[in-house]
Amino acid sequence: MSTRTGILFVISGPSGVGKGTVRNAVMPLVDDLQMSISATTRAPRPGEVDGLDYFFVTPARFQQMIAGGELLEWAQVYGNLYGTPYEYVTSMLSQGRDVLLEIDIQGALQVKEKMPQGVFIFISPPSVEELSRRLCGRGNDSEESIQIRLAACQQEMDHIKYYDYVVVNDRVEDAVDKVRSIIMAERCKRKNLNLG
């Protein structure tokens, strides 16, 4: 049995960059990796499952989690609240399990402050034009919210400097392979091994 502390991997990036898709594709490729699940007050999108994609909670319950210090990070995004249950992550890490957390940039920066030992991976779009295409193609946003998102995107790109790795998501298979490689490599880092 390994007695090392688990590694926290944080996948983040601009809205619409496809980080959820990359996360979902990486999970079955890596052994002994625990996915962190966010709590949110937003409504489930078609196909999303409570307790799998998110913990869907009421605003009242979310406020209770904030007040009780139950969240590692939380943010209001486009009118909805998102947060990561603290206890879930830290208990996994202390058991020596690696945790994969997929969150937006605001959330990642909060996690970076509290857990700087984490491995921070920025998923980048190939270009701003491509990001626009993805957002416009999503089909569930009004024209106004797309413009707001695009303006926020440039600001978010400036946050790359806080990340350890940058993965350009031009071909999703390549992005998935790169994220998997980062996880494999971090596990081989001498400082992350308990050498007998």
Our CB check for a second copy shows the closer of 144 and 173 to be: 173
Please, what is the minimum distance in Å from the beta carbon of residue 91 to a second copy? 27
Does 29 bind a second copy (CB under 8 A)? Our answer is no
By CB under 8 A, the residues from 84 to 143 that bind a second copy are 121-122
Q: Give the C-alpha separation, 89 to 104, whole Å.
A: 17
* CA-based nearest residue to 134, from 166, 110, 169: 169
Our CB check for a second copy shows the closer of 74 and 156 to be: 156
Binding mask 157-196 for a second copy (x = CB under 8 A): ---xx-xxxxx---------xx-xxx-xxx-xxx--x-x-
Tokens coding 85:
């249950």
Are the CB atoms for 76 and 53 separated by under 8 Å?
no
Our CB check for a second copy shows the closer of 141 and 164 to be: 164
Our CB check for a second copy shows the closer of 93 and 119 to be: 119
Our CB check for a second copy shows the closer of 29 and 136 to be: 29
Total residues in contact with a second copy, by rule CB under 8 A: 22
Please, what is the Cα angle at 6 between 169 and 51, to 5 degrees?
A: 65
Our CB check for a second copy shows the closer of 68 and 116 to be: 116
Pairing of the two strands 119-124 and 165-168: parallel
Please, what is the minimum distance in Å from the beta carbon of residue 196 to a second copy? 9
Are the CB atoms for 169 and 123 separated by under 8 Å?
yes
Please, what is the minimum distance in Å from the beta carbon of residue 124 to a second copy? 9
* Residues whose CB falls within 8 Å of the CB of residue 66, separated by 6 or more in sequence, listed in order: 74, 83
DSSP 38: E
* Burial class of 87 by CB neighbour count within 10 A (0 to 12, 13 to 18, 19+): exposed
Please, what is the minimum distance in Å from the beta carbon of residue 116 to a second copy? 15
Binding footprint of a second copy on the chain (CB under 8 A): 121-122, 160-161, 163-167, 177-178, 180-182, 184-186, 188-190, 193, 195
